[in-house]
A and B are shown apart, each in its own frame.
Chain A
Amino acid sequence: MPSRPALMSTEVALSRLTLHALQVRHVGPVDLDIAPGECVCLSGASGAGKSLLLRAVADLEPHAGGAELDGERCADMRPSTWRQRVGLLPAESAWWCERVGAHFDHPRPEWFEALGFEPAVGDWEIARLSTGERQRLALLRLLCNGPRALLLDEPTASLDPAAVGRVEALLDEYRRERDCPILWVTHDPAQTERVADRRMQIHEGRVREA
């Protein structure tokens, strides 16, 4: 049977997120390979550079080294395309319109429901949302944008246990459905236990297996 190297390599590289000697300020160089559908949890002390590393992967910070998705280099792509594909959820969400709905191009009602929102949430004013509501809506905003890889910066930090469960379930569904690699920053060892395929730790600028 003739071999099909081109197709094979595409299949192997599908939605694989790779960091090559990525270095940003005091963090790195970081080499990391996240397989399709793999969830890597990253922990470390405050100020260790977890958020900074995620920002560099999303190409929001000037950095040395590089990142690849599906074998395509970040540096070869339009920055907007890269950021749409490698979606970063920052620890604190920010909004630019008055109402929730204006931030969504293609809302998915079933996901809103999964996180406990009624359909009328689109008319809600951003200013009147609680911190937890904002955090959940920011995650929905990101997922509705269809990223192929996820960078999550403490996505459940201000949620009650029931909401944490819903968010974890939705993220798990998204990951399985799309074979989406996830780099997940969390402080919570129990959460790491629940969601991680692999655990990494950041210490003195180095990222190691924990």
Chain B
Amino acid sequence: MRIQQLSTLDLSIAALLVIALAVLSLVLRLGIERRLLLAAARTAIQLTLIGLVLKALFAHVALVWVALMAFVMLAAAGREATARQRLRFAGAWGYGLGTLSMFISSFSVTVFALIAIIAHHPWYEPQYAIPLLGMMLGNTMNGVALGLDRLTLSAREQRTAIEARLMLGHEARIAVRGFSREAMRVGLVPIMNAMAAAGLISLPGMMTGQILAGAAPVEAVKYQILIMFMIAAGTGFATLAAVSLGSRRLFDDRQRLRLDRLKDTG
């Protein structure tokens, strides 16, 4: 089976659909046509560029290039995870907390899957490594952003309750424990929902892509199961790490609740 090639004309026809939506937005005065078109343009440009990068990467298989690409992706995911939090840690912590957690979790789970499960030679073969890491980071970012967002917002909302416990001599980690747990749960909900709905309600993107590209459905399904498990583990570990680091950062060395370490971004 051979993949049906798409021409520029084919993509232009698809683009017309987005333009039609923009026109509708103009007529209905939704005021989102600019953002919509800009986002669509970004999709086209960013994906074209990444296509070229991947082409070059696949042509020259070298660990250093794969690693460089991985760190660029991590940096972008860290930025996105930070930007999604309304109330984030000020200074380097805002970016560092989520990025560090994603690094520890996504990288180790991806490398583990590449070496122990896929076992291709070399293990860093970009055809496997980059898409896997990309899917990991995309989902992990979500969990980390949701978890930290919930943590910081509930710390601000429940400030008096947390401090009431501190005033009675409760340890800071006990005073914040209920809110950390809730934040961890919130970060894990999307991936649990995705796993529960997979196949019944949604056909996951990677599997769909493989099938479109002519892979046997059963092979595509096996890869999708692998990916789902990796994403669940990666997202889970990263969210737990980010929320527990964040819970510590909420307090100083004298166990005072330090909301002045948070920055509201509206």
A60 and B164 contacting across the interface, CB-CB below 8 Å = no
B163 and A60 contacting across the interface, CB-CB below 8 Å = yes
Which residue of chain A is the closest to B169 with respect to CB atoms? Answer: A84
B161 and A62 contacting across the interface, CB-CB below 8 Å = no
B169 and A96 contacting across the interface, CB-CB below 8 Å = no
A62 and B169 contacting across the interface, CB-CB below 8 Å = no
Contact with B along A35-69 (1 / 0, CB 8 A): 00000000000000000000000111110000000
Answer whether A142 and B168 are a contact pair too, CB < 8 Å, given A60-B256, A62-B256.
yes
Residues from chain B with a CB closer than 8 A to the CB of A85 are 169
Answer whether A88 and B167 are a contact pair too, CB < 8 Å, given A62-B252, A62-B256, A79-B254.
yes
Interface residues of B, count at CB 8 A: 20
* B166 contacts chain A at the CB level, 8 A cutoff: yes
A95 and B256 contacting across the interface, CB-CB below 8 Å = no
A95 and B255 contacting across the interface, CB-CB below 8 Å = no
The CA of A120 and the CA of B161, in the complex, are separated in Å by: 23
Residues from chain A with a CB closer than 8 A to the CB of B219 are none
Residues from chain B with a CB closer than 8 A to the CB of A141 are 168
Name B residues whose Cβ lies closer than 8 Å to a Cβ of A. 158, 160-172, 178, 252, 254-257
Known: A89-B167, A96-B161. 19 other contacts (CB 8 A): A58-B167, A60-B163, A60-B166, A79-B172, A79-B255, A80-B169, A83-B168, A83-B169, A88-B167, A90-B163, A90-B167, A94-B160, A94-B163, A95-B161, A95-B164, A96-B178, A138-B164, A142-B167, A145-B168
Name A residues whose Cβ lies closer than 8 Å to a Cβ of B. 58-62, 79-85, 87-90, 92-96, 138, 141-142, 145
